[in-house]
Structure 1
Amino acid sequence: MQEIGRQIRQIRNRKGISLNAYANELGVSPGYLSNLETGKTQNITLKVLEQLQSDLYLIPFPTDDNDELRMRLDRVYELLSALQNCKPDAVEYLLRCVEEGAEVFLTHYSTKSL
C-alpha cells in the first residue's frame, strides 16, 4: 500500500493538485489522504480506489505488448525524473547506456536480417 500511496502523491503533485483539494474531490478527509499517501493506512474503499484509478491512471492495465512497453518506459521516466534531482550524473550515465545499447542491438539485428 505504501508504494501506491507514493505514486498517488507523486502523480498528484506533478498534476499540481493540492492535498486538500484532491481529498475534497475524493470525498475523504485530508488526513486520510495524507495517511494513504504515506502508507500509514492499509484500508481503501473500492470507490476511492476506482476514483484514483480514473483520475491518476494509478494501476496500468496492459492490453498488449506495446502497452506493457509503454508502462515500463513510463515507470523508467518517473524513476529517472526523481533521480535527476539528486544524481543528474547517474541519469546521464543510465540514459547513455540505454541509448548506446539500443543502437548496438538495432545495428546487430538489422545486419543479421539482411
Structure 2
Amino acid sequence: MTPFGRRVRELRAQRGITLAEMAQVLGVTPAYLSALEHGKRGRPTFTLIQGVIHVLGVIWDEADELVRLADLSHPRVTVDTAGLDAEATLFANRLAREIGDLSRIDFDALTAVLDQASRRDER
C-alpha cells in the first residue's frame, strides 16, 4: 500500500464512502481504484488527485497532504546514483534489496536521518 492509498482509504472509511461509490464518481473502475490504494498502480494523475479531494470533501491542509502523499507514492522507485560516490550506489542497492526486511523502528530511524539531512541542506 502507498501512503496516498492508505490515506485515501482512511478518509473514505471515515466518510462512509465505498470503493465502488468513489470509483463511479471519479469515472474509474473499482478495480483501478483498489489497485491505486494498494500500490499496484503508479502515481495518480493530477486530475485524479483533484477528483479524490473533491469526492472526499477535503480542504486546505488535508488537500495539501493528499497532493504531497501522491507525489511520494510511486510504488516502483528509481534511484539515480550517477555521479555520486560508490557508497551511495552501494547504499541504494542494499536498500532496494533489503527494504522488505526492515522494521517500523528501522524505517523511523532512516526517516529521522533523511529529515536531519534535509534540515541541514535548508540552512
**Higher relative contact order (CA closer than 8 Å, sequence separation 6+):** 2
Instruction: Point out the structure with the larger helix share.
Output: 1
TM-score band by shorter chain is: 0.3 to 0.5
Structure number with greater Rg is 1
